[in-house]
Amino acid sequence: MMIRIEDFADRQNVRNIHLVSFSDETEANLVDALRADGSVEISLVATVEDDIVGHVMCSRMQAPFRALGLAPIAVLPEFRNQGIAAQLIRAAIDMAKSKGWEGIFLLGDPAYYQRFGFSVTDAVNFQSPYAGPYLMVLSIKGDVLPVQSGVIEYAPAFDQLG
């Protein structure tokens, strides 16, 4: 398994990962809408023998510090529970760090994402329509976020989500 930056030619395969992984087209369409927005900062694919088996995207968002939103992430069903998503997430975090980003927000199950350092507690003082038990944030520049409260806004493409 390898992780690499997505190429233009990967786009249809990436869309397919999300169509197969989620119950409807929402996430696949989100990926396309984020590209159309010009909001994409990181888009990585996991490959096995040159086939794309997983994908993660991070987009620029409004926050009181330099923040990305991690979404979506998916791995093809037959390749799950082998740590592929974990490697995609760690690679995205490393790339965000190397590009000077200060934090990453995401929405997801804390039981999974806490292992990477994402914290619900650190996200509680950020106002967002997504605020609640699934909103998490990871400080990537230092141990503590540069600013610990404020309003956050995901890229415009997220507005289409119901």
Q: Which stretches of the chain bind ligand COA, using CB under 6 A?
A: 21-22, 73-75, 80-86, 108-109, 111-112
Do residues 126 and 150 touch, judged by C-beta distance below 8 A?
A: yes
User: Which of residues 97 and 115 has its CB atom nearest to ligand COA in the complex?
Assistant: 115
Encode burial over 150-161: b for 16+ CB neighbours within 10 A, e otherwise: eebbbbebbeee
Do residues 37 and 131 touch, judged by C-beta distance below 8 A?
A: no
Q: Quick one: which of 143, 123, 141 has its CA closest to 132?
A: 123
User: Which of residues 17 and 63 has its CB atom nearest to ligand COA in the complex?
Assistant: 17
User: Which of residues 48 and 147 has its CB atom nearest to ligand COA in the complex?
Assistant: 48
Smallest distance from the beta carbon of 78 to ligand COA, in angstroms?
10
User: Which of residues 55 and 60 has its CB atom nearest to ligand COA in the complex?
Assistant: 55
Do residues 90 and 46 touch, judged by C-beta distance below 8 A?
A: no
Smallest distance from the beta carbon of 75 to ligand COA, in angstroms?
4
Smallest distance from the beta carbon of 54 to ligand COA, in angstroms?
6
Smallest distance from the beta carbon of 58 to ligand COA, in angstroms?
13
Q: Which DSSP category does 7 fall into?
A: P
